[in-house]
Structure 1
């Protein structure tokens, strides 16, 4: 795989924050942390990569809506959640609290609260915030329940992903272990959550991991996509508003997450899913084959369907997460290659194929978040 030669610096520079895992073969707490990297899209290069904070297993990070606070999970058996004020390219510690479970793997920041998915314990935690973005009050921990047919991976609940519904009235928690998406109503001034039943039940053995909403969530029009880590499928969900006034869904179709087979004895494991900036394309990272698959999102009179366009081969190995950057000339995907310790950028062409843009080596990146505000 070749990369374009570097060009003079441009004004299209994107600031990226990265969570990382321990380097394979090393113990947690031996140097991994949060990194800051710039991507010069026009020049096709990464610049200024440096580790900003040393903290154990910060596998996922999230920016507050005003992008002035960064929240970082500590994915360990005694899970933690830390807050940092963003001051230019520096992070100022604001506090650390328990995550409410074991091995927190995903975090989302809302204006009045932070939501955390704890994988091993299967719990979902809400942590209230004050006006400055610091933690305020006691966390609320919601237990998960259930299991699935995969005895090795679905022996109990495994909360893996958290997302707000498009109307902001509820939080959906994707449970890989129980093949369900749980639903929680946002309460008070947005600082609390309360159980509100199951949003959708997936086929047994799906192992749902990450989810993205499509069109606005109105009855008869909305849809969402969820990737199954265990069944290697992208599931299309049709949204509806139930009698409680909250969104629910039903699976209506499923397609293979990619057409490229994984190595013999390894298999194929989708990780992250996201839409293009205009919503017309769906991207899915798949570990094993080590590709990002590209689908067209086609609206038919009867609903939505996915048409596979390409599997983009990656330079890196085990793509755990990626960010979609809205750039002139088409989307740019920035992919975290966990096992290869690589960060790579790909430009998506109009025909759905991709071309390499930039490549960087750094220790075991696990997630990529863009900060759109570059000033302090």
Structure 2
């Protein structure tokens, strides 16, 4: 415990064990300066590439991004985490993302192009099998990457009424309901063919969403109607000021708590792009780009005025102080985590 009985803040870092990652790393977060210090790591689950923390901070959930596809629950115990049971098969392959929605863990299964719902018990443990698997269908014009559906992310909308999944293979976003453990499609929204949407982040005002596209280095601004569960694309903006020198594959997107800025990461170019929001979030203006501090930035996270970047191929997590006026990040430090894939805080 910190001074005055406050619980010390922790960061949890996922990694690819198939590429030499340690599994899940627990790190302390400095009260001032945002620095991470590794405390422990735990293996036992293959490729825990994406993590989500329960609202009470007591349970950590991880996908196992493998062909079999699974999700695991860990009890958070001080400076480490402890597996609560065997990983649960999700009924889909290659899960790349997960979130907690209405007493369930939802996983986006990239390989099989589906979304699964696994019920969570009262003690935070998982049931033995999913209650529902919603399979996507369709394809896109990219010959290699879009032969079929590839769900890459699933999360609740700000109202909590809807589950929203982003599918790279079908160039679309699906809005679903989750009732009595069953996922049902409410609406599918088409984005530009060949854009390859990967991740979505909502504006804190609740009326807009930003979709980062992997197959073209752009970000799509959408209007979100929580009452109707409807998403409408408004504009598409490049994430780079100039044409990329080589391969450029955007990955993560995060929005400032006050909604003034949006940040994206682009692999290959290895940069973080900074956008200022305008017209209440309706428009994005590219402010600039900065090096991400490593190679192949897979995910971004914001915490207490610092931007954290999980750099998969250089095997580190960098943190940057964010200028409150301009939104521009400045590298402040890094910690070594082989094959780092994501960071969450609690």
CA 1:65–1:260: 2 relative to 1, 3 Å: farther
Find out whether 1:231 has 2:216 as its counterpart: yes
Match of 1:107 among 95, 98, 110: 98
Unaligned runs of 5+ in 2: 1-5
Deviation of residue 63 (structure 1)?
A: 0.7
The CA deviation string for residues 221-249 of structure 1, in whole angstroms up to 9 with x for no partner, is x11100110111100001235xxx53111
Residues 1:364 and 2:342 are matched in the alignment: no
Q: Is residue 2:139 matched to residue 1:147? A: yes
Please give the alpha-carbon distance, in whole angstroms, between the structure 2 residues aligned to 1:177 and 1:318. 21
SS in 2 for 1:132: coil
Q: Say what the alpha-carbon RMSD is for the aligned residues.
A: 2.0
Once the two structures are superposed, residues 299-350 of structure 1 have per-residue CA deviations (whole angstroms, 9 ceiling, x without a partner) of 26xx711111121212200000011012xxxx20111000000110001112
Structure 1 unaligned regions, length at least 5? 1-10, 372-376
SS in structure 2 of the partner of residue 271 of structure 1:
strand
Higher mean C-alpha displacement, 15-24 vs 358-367: 15-24
Corresponding residue of 1:352: 327
- 1:354 and 1:168 mapped to 2: Cα distance? 31
The residue number in structure 2 matching 1:282 is 262
Does the Cα contact within 8 Å between 1:71 and 1:82 map onto a contact in 2?
yes
Quickly say closer, same or farther: Cα 1:137–1:43, change in 2 above 3 A: closer
Match of 2:292 in 1: 314
Instruction: Provide the rounded CA distance (Å) in 1 between the counterparts of 2:216 and 2:183.
Output: 30
TM-superposed deviation, 1:132: 1.2
2: distance between equivalents of 1:130 and 1:36? 24
Say if 2:143 is the partner of 1:135: no
Matched, 1:210 2:199: yes
Match of 2:52 in 1: 62
CA distance in structure 1 between the partners assigned to 2:128 and 2:113 by the alignment: 22
Contact 2:201–2:210 (Cα < 8 Å) also in 1 = yes
**Which of 7, 10, 17 is residue 12 of structure 2 equivalent to?**
17
Separation (CA, whole Å) in 2 of partners of 1:178 and 1:210: 13
Distance 1:215 1:100, change over 3 A: same
Number of residue pairs aligned between Structure 1 and Structure 2: 338
Contact 2:198 2:211 in 1 (8 A): yes
1:48 deviates by 3.2
2-structure distance, mates of 1:253, 1:125: 30
Normalising to structure 1: TM-score of the pair?
A: 0.85
Q: CA deviation at 1:260?
A: 5.4
Q: Is the 8 A contact 2:18 2:46 kept in 1?
A: no
1:248 is matched with 230
1:58-115: CA deviations, max 9, x gaps? Answer: 1111111222111111111001111111121222322221022111110112351100
Structure 1 pair 108–79 and aligned structure 2 pair: CA distance change class (3 A): same
